[in-house]
Structures are given as C-alpha cells and as structure tokens.
Amino acid sequence: MIYKAYFSPTGGTRKCLDILCPEGKEIDLTRRDYYEDYHLTSSDILYVALPSFGGRCPALAIERLKKIKGVNTKAVIMAIYGNRAFEDTLIELYDNLNSQGFIITAALSCIAEHSMIREIAKGRPDEEDKKKLSSFKPIIMKSLEKGEKIKNIPGLRPYKSISKFLTPKADENCIRCGKCYISCPSGAIDEMMPNLTDEEKCIGCARCIAICPQKARKYEDEAFSAVKERIKKLATERKEAELFL
Ligand SMILES: Cc1cc2nc3c(=O)[nH]c(=O)nc-3n(C[C@H](O)[C@H](O)[C@H](O)COP(=O)(O)O)c2cc1C
Ligand code: SF4
Ligand code: SF4
C-alpha cells in the first residue's frame, strides 16, 4: 500500500505532494488527534512531505512522524520551501526516517507560495513546477524498484539552529468563531478566548492567518516588516524543484 504523510498548515506542501503522488492513504500530521501508530511492511511505500521552517523540519511534524515505523520500507521524501532555501530540511527528515526503519530511495525539493509572506513564490507550485515534478516520476519509480538508499542528500549535520518564529495575534475583528482554535496544529489557541495565543506552543505556521474568515489574525507589524524585508532579498530569483538520488 502507498502511504502519504504530510504536514501542510496552509496547503502548499500538500499540493506538491499530490502532484508527485496523487493516490494513497493519507496521514495528516497537522491533526492534533493524531494518535494512531502505523507499522508499515517492506512491501509498503511511504511518501513524506514537510515544509521547510527556517531551513529545518517543523519539530512538531518530526514528533508526530515518529508514530510511523517501517521494516526496510521504501520511502520518498520531499521538502517544500518558499523560494528562499531548504538548507537542512531533507537531511533532518532523512535521518529521522532512516532511524525508523525506512530506506529512502529518492528525495526532492519543491517550491510553494511562502506561507508567511504570501507575495513570495505567489501561485506556486505552478505549471512549470507540475511539469518538472512529473518529469521526476519515472526516475523515482526506478529508484523504488531498485530499493537502494540515496547517496546524495543535501544539507549538513549538525543541522542549523533556528530561533522562535513569529506568533500571529487576533485583532478586534475576531468574532470568536473558533475556526482557528479547531485547526491550529499545535493547540496554541485558547478555546474560550480564541483571540489569545500561547506563544510557547505556537510554531508560527500561519494556518490561523490563512483560515480566519474575518482576516483578524496577523503578525505584529514591526517585527514582521523586518523579517519580510530580509527574506524578500533572499528569495528574489526563481528557484526550481530538484531531485536527489
Ligand atoms: C515559520 C515559517 C518558516 C519558514 N521558513 C522558510 C525557510 O527557511 N525557507 C523558505 O524558503 N521558506 C520558508 N517558509 C515558507 C514555507 O516553507 C513554504 O511556504 C511552505 O510551502 C509552507 O507549507 P504549507 O503551504 O504546506 O503550509 C517558512 C514559512 C513559515 C510559516
Ligand atoms: S478564526 Fe478568526 S474570527 Fe474566528 S476565532 Fe479565530 S481569529 Fe477569531
Ligand atoms: S497559533 Fe501558531 S501554531 Fe497555531 S495555527 Fe496560528 S501560527 Fe500556527
């Protein structure tokens, strides 16, 4: 059986994974009620797609991914990033799955709209990305047939360190509908007072901003402007999806 595990707070990661692998049993790692243990066999195949947060895997995604175990099970991994860089995301994902019984036979990077700064990589993955990812498919199939570990994995150990990401806040337009509370991957939003966010728990994933029907959730202006200016300079040139074997 084919399994597709993904952590996609604002949908870009999932779009890229769906292009590469449209069918399979889905494991949504953003769900807070995700308690099932999965024991995959050597005849199963696992696809995993994670977004790059600060050039690393989101720690919450890695924690939930630990529930999926393999026995020499073949896996294809993807790092999705917002046209700046994915740095150590693939190597971190590789190391974790490798220690959980998986043989990683292919690794990919792909670009999606920047979930924090939506004007960066707007509309991606686009037609060009679809063509590029589709062109990788036959090569990935061959790598799965061969079943050999990849030799070329980008990134460095020890992985780069990351600082705390910005926490969005709700403004006076909040009508306390609770949608952000329900869908927050980390449980950082208060059920009774959804305009309150626990900064310690928040992973800065931007889902609450994307789903709020009132557009009430935002990053604080000053801190966000500084981050935005810095990242925009690093993400101007269009980057393309890559395959590593
Ligand atoms: C907290 C945070 C950190 C991010 N860090 C990076 C980064 O280091 N490099 C990059 O190119 N994009 C970065 N991005 C953009 C995301 O990797 C990208 O938009 C991804 O597609 C988001 O996945 P999603 O749409 O499934 O939520 C970051 C986004 C967020 C919210
Ligand atoms: S989704 Fe928006 S309006 Fe609804 S509770 Fe959250 S911040 Fe308030
Ligand atoms: S409160 Fe933080 S962790 Fe929760 S959805 Fe918003 S950005 Fe993501």
Minimum CA distance residue for ligand 3 atom 4: 184
Q: What is residue 36's predicted lDDT score, i.e. its pLDDT? A: 81
- On the question of pLDDT at 95 being above 90, the answer is yes
- On the question of pLDDT at 110 being above 90, the answer is yes
Tens digit of each residue's pLDDT (9 = 90 or more) over 115-155: 999 999 999 999 999 999 999 999 999 999 999 999 999 99
Q: What is residue 224's predicted lDDT score, i.e. its pLDDT? A: 94
- In order of their start, the domains of the chain are 2-159+240-244 (3.40.50.360), 169-218 (3.30.70.20)
pLDDT bracket for residue 220 (50, 70, 90): confident
pLDDT bracket for residue 221 (50, 70, 90): confident
Q: Is the CB of 197 under 6 A from ligand 3?
A: yes
Between residues 40 and 222, which one has the greater pLDDT? 40
Rounded Cα distance between 9 and 113, Å, is: 12
Q: Is the CB of 188 under 6 A from ligand 3?
A: yes
Ligand 3 centre and the CA of 189: distance in Å? 7
CB 207 within 8 A of CB 185: yes
Q: What is residue 240's predicted lDDT score, i.e. its pLDDT? A: 98
Question: Token digits for 149?
Answer: 């570990």
Q: What is residue 180's predicted lDDT score, i.e. its pLDDT? A: 97
- On the question of pLDDT at 105 being above 80, the answer is yes
Minimum CA distance residue for ligand 3 atom 8: 205
Smallest-distance ligand from the CA of 216? 2
**Which residues have CB under 8 Å from 135's CB, separation 6+?**
none
Rounded Cα distance between 227 and 206, Å, is: 14
Minimum CA distance residue for ligand 2 atom 3: 174
Tens digit of each residue's pLDDT (9 = 90 or more) over 9-49: 999 999 999 999 999 999 999 999 867 899 999 999 999 99
Over residues 81-110, the mean pLDDT reads 98
Over residues 80-108, the mean pLDDT reads 98
Ligand 1 centre and the CA of 180: distance in Å? 19
Q: Which stretches within 52-184 are classed as H helix?
A: 59-65, 89-98, 127-146, 179-183
Q: Is the CB of 10 under 6 A from ligand 3?
A: no
Cα 57–63–68 angle (5° rounding)?
105
Distances (CA, A) of 172 to 168, 187, 193, 195: 13, 21, 12, 9
